[in-house]
Every structure is written in structure tokens, then in C-alpha cells.
Amino acid sequence: MSGKSALRRWTVRGLAGLPFLLVALAIAAWACVRASLPQLDGDAEIPGLSAPVSLGRDALGTLVVEGRTRLDVARGLGFAHAQERFFEMDLTRRSAAGELSALFGAKALERDRTRRVHRLRARLTDRFEGLSGEDRLLLLAYTEGVNAGLHALPMRPWQYLLLRARPQDWTPVDSLLVISEMYFMLQSGSFDAGFERATLREHAGDALFDWLSPRGGRWDAALDGSQLPAPTMPTSAQLDVSKAHVPDSPASSASSASGPASAMSSRMSSPDLPVLGSNSWAVAGSRSTHGGAILADDMHLGLGVPSIWYRAQFQIGAGPSGLRAAGVTLPGLPALVVGSNGAVAWGFTNAYGQWFDWIEVPPDAKVSTRTETLEVHAGPAVTLDVSEVGDAPIVTVDGGRRFALHWIAHQGAAYNLELDRMLQVRHVSDALALAQRAGMPHQNLLAADRDGQIGWTVAGRLWAQPGLPEGYGRFIAPSAMRRDWLAPDRAPQVLSPAQGQLWTANNRQLDGAPGELLGDGGFDLGARAQQIRDRLSAREKHDEGSLGAIHQDDEARFMKTWAARLLAASRTDAGANPTHRAFVQLLENWNGRADADSAAYRLVRQARLRVLDTLWDAWTLPSLGERQLDPKRRIRWRNQFEYSAARAVDERPPHLLPAAFASWDALLLAQLDGAVREVAPDGNLGGATWGAQNASRIQHPLAKAIPALSRWLDMPSVPQSGDSNLPHVAGPAFGQSERLVVSPGREEQGWLSMPGGQSGHPMSPFYGAGHQDWVEGKPTPLLAGPVIHRITAHRD
């Protein structure tokens, strides 16, 4: 037999056996992934338990933890969190600490450098030692549960198999890092806005700055009824763009007939644009059909798989003295973040005060330097030198000037477990006092109690020195850094309002001294808050159903004002221009809602963004010049710019009309034409629906890195109604991370729904559980249903 024949025969045999080998490898991979499934039934061991703990799950995977003591319940919760969500917990602590490179390799180094400059693991290691004994015990108990749950898995979580890595045990400091990651998530977006405001004021001067960066106007919906005056329009001597040539920006591809486009245009018009998030509202017992206060809450965050939240129900103790509480937890922490304990219900929205200062570092300032080591998976470690002025790290250099960020989250007092005591409060007044002592990212807290009372305050520790007007839109000297803490009993609050209703939607809440105390880190317009307020006022009495309906309110009251402007301009030449004639017809048949099948809403929205882009470029280029032509350095418009742009469009001052346009109508029509080209390049206006742009894209983090996994890991994409500036906030990957409606003492009638599901394991029966109900807006019960799986945990 020749050598070639033998080789050919073995090649054929090898190829014939290849499918069997691939099948075997697939089976082996499947078996490994399956081996990391969370335990749902049987017995388990958890160190430190004082008595057995029951871990039950209903059809949605809601965890029902029953234990004799609070610490035992914390251990049980930690066990379940680790089994279902350890990988997500690991990402959270690593993200906050700047340690992702140790898991993902050198590609995460740049991200780690931006976080490690804050040195949060070092700061929080010190903070842990300064916590109360009660807080330390709670974190230690939770940590014992987490590590017991992790080690009880027959195989390490499946994500680590893909990454060829091994998970590291949890520590109490890691839970504090979870709090700090929420600080980043909820407050870091204000940093750039604050830096840009200060830069804008320096270049434009106070008068023009106030016009370009107003603080209030017609959409204000503050709890104290205050309304800030509209911005003062600049005179022609201060700003005249009617004859100025506005050069195209690097991103411009539009002709002069469409007006000056900008790098901002593609960014601001993107469906991925993050919007300010969270709504909460409440009515007192005097305003409900059953005499009990009712609370509703939907926290807006980036959406992913699994959900950021984890549904849980605590049963601490038994009999009449026992306590039941239900709501959502955050894996990595032992507390119930939002929910009801039978006597008090509470919910949050991001407060958007100014919780930071930008410090300009003088050349002769005393600067200390610390060296941090960044571990890198499958590579050598690298070092990072962190320079600080006092305890404020120098984070940016601009034009040769150094700037440090003084942030409240760098301070140890900004962290504690006070929020966990919400389980024990029995009255709204106690909930407000507790929130004012809590070490947590600053949130508007709304609370309702069984006696029918409601209240508002800002949860989180506050600086004593006011953030306005000294720190708004200004760089400050190191000597002006705010350091003293406000006594908790001096924090602003509203208790038992006369009208029997409260609302928050990331808008400015107060004027005067309380408003100055909180500062302004970038409040939203108030359009959402105003619409929620009006919905509450429209009925004398409410129940869970009427309050819950506001979650799905898609009426586009804000966008109707822009539709009216564009419609009036379009009618001026609708007879001669077929595009404008089609637009008029589209608008006249619009139902005024941000519906998924609405083409009118999408077109009006896009045209508005283009108008604001055009005016911003024209009005800022005279002051900012070349900076606005650099996509990396340009200053962007923020939400409150709406007030100035809308006023100019309505009052039509000649000196503020960009020179490229013969009239204000010409400007509006040019931006409408540009919007048509962008959303309906085929000319089919009716087919360019809002849902086509606003389709959901709720992904697993690994599917983002490995797109081939999307079909198995991501939630199905569906067209969505809703948008920013109306109560039903919905973006492709941003929106209502939970929807809660509850009247304390009537939890059986309460609602709680979440996107993305409960479990992080794709083979779990709870992966994506409840997601479809969230998509369809169906209310899901707050309390757990019948337990279908149960683990009994014993002390090892």
C-alpha cells in the first residue's frame, strides 16, 4: 500500500469523524455550562447561621428568604445572589475599582485608568473599618452567604469558562464598591456637563452663558411651585449671528441649504442617547379610593440581561412580631433598595444636584502622588501614578491647565448601610430622617406609609456649603472645596403636602436656600414631572390602577409644542412643496403620542434636534471658536438649552437668526427637510415609524463582546413606544428598570415588573422570566406567588 493511499484513507476517516468530535465538544461545553446552574432545591450550608434559612422561588424566580434574624436573611440573600448573579457582581466591583483588566486583559486598561484614578478600593478599605459595628456585621454576614453560594456551585459560573478565568471570593469592601459603582452610574454623567459649563462661562461671559445654559422656564414643575424666570435674551451688541459665517463642523455633510450641521447632530439625534432617568409619584390617603397612601416608582437605567435588580421578599422572624418586606435588591448588597415593609413604601429618582466641584490646580499647588498597580489578565501588570490635591485626584488637563475633581463619593461618610434600616421604619417621617443619614448616591426619596402620609427628601449625605451660585458653571480654587457635612436634620424635605400628592422626575425640586444647598448638576427640563403632576391632579381619587397607568403614559405633550411650530412653517409653502404638504397631512392626522407606529412623532423629534443643533453651533462658535470644530473638545448643548432655543424660534429676533437662513421659517423648514432625508431617505414618510428607530436592544454583556452569542443571550428586539420628556421613558437600551406600585399594608394589590429577567444563567427557568410582561406593560404582582422551589440552608 502506497504512503499516499494510507494518508488519503486516514484523512477521509478523520474528516468523517470530525462531526462526531464537534458534537462531543458541544456536549462537553453544554455539560460544563449546565454544571454551573444555580441550585433550586434541596439542602445547602451557609456559615454563621443562627437557625435554618429557607430560600424559596416562585414562577418568576422571586426569592423568598425566610430567616430568624436579619443577619441570617442577609446570608441567605448573599447565597442566592452569588448563585444567580456572581459574574455581574464581579463586573460591578471591578468596574468601580478599575480592575477589569485583571479579567479581560489589556483591552480594558484605558477604562481601568479612568476609574483607578479615584483609588476607591483603597478609600473604601479604610471606610469599612470606620463603619458602625452593625454595618460591619451585616456586610460580613452577607459576604459569608455570597462565598458559600459561589463555592456551592459544582462548576464556576459559565462566564468564567468563556474567559478562561476563575472568580475571586467576595469581601465586605466589595459591597462598598458596589455602592461606589452606583455613584458613578448616577453622578458621573454630570462631571462633563459641569466642566463644559465652566469652560463656556469663561469664554462666553456671564450674560451669554446664562442664555446658553439657562436653569429654568415654562416646563418647571418644582414641588414648592417655584418657577425660574426665562433666560434673558442677549442684545445684538452681545450676540449677532445674522451676518456671521458659520463654518461646517467635521461631522457636517449637509449643504448650506440645510443650515450648519454639527458633530453634535449625529450624537444628539442618536437613538442611543442616554436620557435623564427615573420617575416617582405618590398620593396621600386623602387622595386614594381606599384611604391608604399609594407610591409608584420607575427607576430609569441602562437595561441589560439579566436585570440590574433582583426581586426578593424577606421574612424576618415569625408570628405577630415577624417582618415581611418585598421589592428589589441590588446583587452585591444586602439591602432592599426599593419596596414596602407593610408599614412604609419607598422609591427613588436620581437627584441631579451638584455633588462635585471642579478644582483648577495652580502651578504652585502642593500635589501628592500615589502609585497604583493594575493587574492584567495574561499580561504584565502596569503602574499608574495618581496625583491629588488634598483628596481630589487630578483627572484632566485642558489647554495646559490641570483640573482636579472633588467628589462627594471620595469621602468616607458618603458610605454606610443606613438604607437597610428602612426595613424597620413605621412612619414616613422616620423614613425621611433615615434617608438623610444614609451613605448612598443622592436620590429623591418618596415615601408613603400605612397611615396615609407621604413625604419627600433627598437621600444621601449633603455638604453644608451651598453649591449655588458659587460653584455653578465655575472652576474653583483648592481653598474653596466644600468639606463640611450638613446635619441630617437640616436636609430639605416635604412632609404631608396640602395637595396630597408628590412627584419627582429628575427635575429641579426647590428654589431659594434649599435649592442653593443642593446645587444644580444638570436637572432635566421638568416636562416629565409636569405631565405626571397633571395626571395626579386630574383625578380627585386614585387607586393602584390609575397610578400604575402613568408608567405607560405616551402622550407627547412636550413634542406637541414643536409639532405646532413646524406645522405652522410647513403650511406657508405646502401648496408648492410636496414634502411639506405630506408633512402637514402627517401632522394633522397625528394622535399626539410617542407611539411605536407613529411616523409623525419621529419626524418632529428629529427636526427639533436639528434646530437645537443649528442654533447651538451658530450661537457658540463666536465665543468658543476652534474648540467647537474639534469633536473631542466641543461643548455640547444640554437639556435646559430648550428654553433659549424655543424662545428664539417663537419670538424670532433677527440678530439670533443664523446668516444661512432668510427667515425663521426657512430655518425650521430646512431642518425639517434634513430630518426627512435622515429618517426617510426613500421619501416614504409614513413608513419611517418611531418604533423602527426605538426598537429595544437589551443585551447580555458578553453578547456585546461576542455578537455570535446574541441569539442565545439577548432579549428579543421589539419596536417600543415612549421616549424622553414624557412619563413612559423608553430607549433601545435605556428605560424603566422596574415598575412599582404599592400601598403599604395592601401589598397583595401591589405591582412590580422588571425587564431582562431574574437569573444570569441562560439555562435557568428564570432567565428572562417576566420580561415579556414588562414589554407588554402587564402588571406583575409585587408579592411572590406560590413557592415552586425551595432550598433549606443550615449552618456548616
> What is the per-residue DSSP string for 443-495?
EEEEEEETTS-EEEEEES--BSS--TTTTTT--B-GGG---PBPPGGGS-EEE
Asked whether the beta carbons of 770 and 60 are under 8 A apart, the reply is yes
Is there a single domain that holds both residue 97 and residue 172?
yes
pTM here is 0.94
Q: For residue 720, is it within any domain?
A: no
Q: For residue 379, is it within any domain?
A: yes
- The sign of the torsion formed by the CA atoms of 726, 728, 730, 735 equals positive
Q: What does the block give as the cell for 542?
A: 386614585
Q: Which of 567, 648, 654 is nearest to 611 (CA)?
A: 648
User: If the chain, 796 residues long, is cut into consecutive pieces of 10 residues, what is the mean pLDDT of each piece?
Assistant: 62 56 52 88 98 98 98 98 98 98 97 98 98 98 98 96 95 98 95 95 96 95 93 95 66 38 35 65 98 97 96 94 96 98 98 96 96 97 97 94 97 97 98 98 98 98 86 92 93 97 97 92 96 98 98 98 97 87 94 98 98 97 92 92 97 97 97 96 92 97 91 96 97 96 98 96 96 96 98 95
Is there a single domain that holds both residue 251 and residue 132?
no
Asked whether the beta carbons of 272 and 624 are under 8 A apart, the reply is no
Before 514, cis peptide (omega within 30)? no
In angstroms, the Cα distances linking 14 to 8, 9, 18 are: 10, 9, 6
Q: What does the block give as the cell for 227?
A: 418657577
711: which residues sit within 8 A by CB, 6+ positions away? none
pLDDT of residue 262: 35
Q: Are strands 443-449 and 401-407 parallel, antiparallel or unpaired?
A: unpaired
Residue 197 φ then ψ, to 5°: -60, -45
**Residue-range definition of the domain harbouring residue 425:** 19-187+278-555+729-796
Q: Are strands 42-45 and 501-504 parallel, antiparallel or unpaired?
A: unpaired
Looking from the CA of 112 toward its CB, the CA atoms found within 13 Å total 27
The residue among 669, 693, 717 that closes a domain is 693
Q: What does the block give as the cell for 83?
A: 448563585
Round to whole Å and give the CA distance between 154 and 44.
13
**Count of all residues that appear for the chain in the document:** 796
Residue 399 φ then ψ, to 5°: 60, 35
Q: Which of 205, 199, 246, 102 is nearest to 621 (CA)?
A: 246
212: which residues sit within 8 A by CB, 6+ positions away? 200, 204, 616, 619, 620, 637, 641, 644
Round to whole Å and give the CA distance between 67 and 71.
8
In angstroms, the Cα distances linking 685 to 518, 584, 657, 677 are: 45, 11, 28, 10
Is there a single domain that holds both residue 270 and residue 292?
no
Q: What does the block give as the cell for 725?
A: 420628556
Q: For residue 10, is it within any domain?
A: no
Round to whole Å and give the CA distance between 87 and 299.
23
Is there a single domain that holds both residue 109 and residue 227?
no
The residue among 693, 717, 752 that closes a domain is 693
Asked whether the beta carbons of 734 and 303 are under 8 A apart, the reply is yes
Round to whole Å and give the CA distance between 551 and 549.
5
Asked whether the beta carbons of 792 and 44 are under 8 A apart, the reply is yes
Asked whether the beta carbons of 586 and 686 are under 8 A apart, the reply is yes
Is there a single domain that holds both residue 290 and residue 260?
no
188: which residues sit within 8 A by CB, 6+ positions away? none
Q: For residue 713, is it within any domain?
A: no
In angstroms, the Cα distances linking 200 to 204, 236, 622, 641 are: 6, 19, 12, 13
Which residues on adjacent β-strands are paired with residue 179?
Answer: none
Q: For residue 239, is it within any domain?
A: yes
DSSP 290: S
Work out the widest C-alpha separation in the chain, in whole angstroms. 101
Place of cell 478609600: 123
Number of domains present in the structure of the chain? 2
Round to whole Å and give the CA distance between 417 and 135.
6
Is there a single domain that holds both residue 634 and residue 655?
yes
Burial of 117 (0-12, 13-18, 19+ CB in 10 A): buried
The residue among 648, 678, 693 that closes a domain is 693
Is there a single domain that holds both residue 612 and residue 529?
no
Is there a single domain that holds both residue 536 and residue 577?
no
Cα angle for residues 502, 503, 505 (degrees, 5° grid): 165
Burial of 384 (0-12, 13-18, 19+ CB in 10 A): middle
Is there a single domain that holds both residue 430 and residue 565?
no
Q: For residue 717, is it within any domain?
A: no
Cα angle for residues 32, 311, 82 (degrees, 5° grid): 35
In angstroms, the Cα distances linking 130 to 125, 411, 665 are: 9, 12, 63
DSSP characters for 114-159? Answer: HHHTT-HHHHHHHHHHHS-HHHHHHHHHHHHHHHHHHHHSSS--HH
Place of cell 429676533: 653
Is there a single domain that holds both residue 316 and residue 439?
yes
3-state secondary structure of 323: strand
H or E, element range at 614? helix 599-624
117: which residues sit within 8 A by CB, 6+ positions away? 98, 384, 386, 393, 395
Q: What does the block give as the cell for 337?
A: 433598595
H or E, element range at 512? helix 512-518
Round to whole Å and give the CA distance between 711 and 706.
11
Asked whether the beta carbons of 431 and 447 are under 8 A apart, the reply is yes
Query: In three state form, how does the secondary structure of 261-289 look?
Result: CCHHHHHHCCCCCCCCCCEEEEECHHHEC
Round to whole Å and give the CA distance between 70 and 138.
8
In angstroms, the Cα distances linking 768 to 347, 713, 739 are: 24, 9, 16
Is there a single domain that holds both residue 369 and residue 336?
yes
Burial of 203 (0-12, 13-18, 19+ CB in 10 A): middle
Domain of 130, CATH number, reads 3.60.20.10
Is there a single domain that holds both residue 170 and residue 319?
yes
Q: For residue 13, is it within any domain?
A: no
Q: What does the block give as the cell for 88?
A: 455581574
Place of cell 405633550: 557
Q: For residue 703, is it within any domain?
A: no
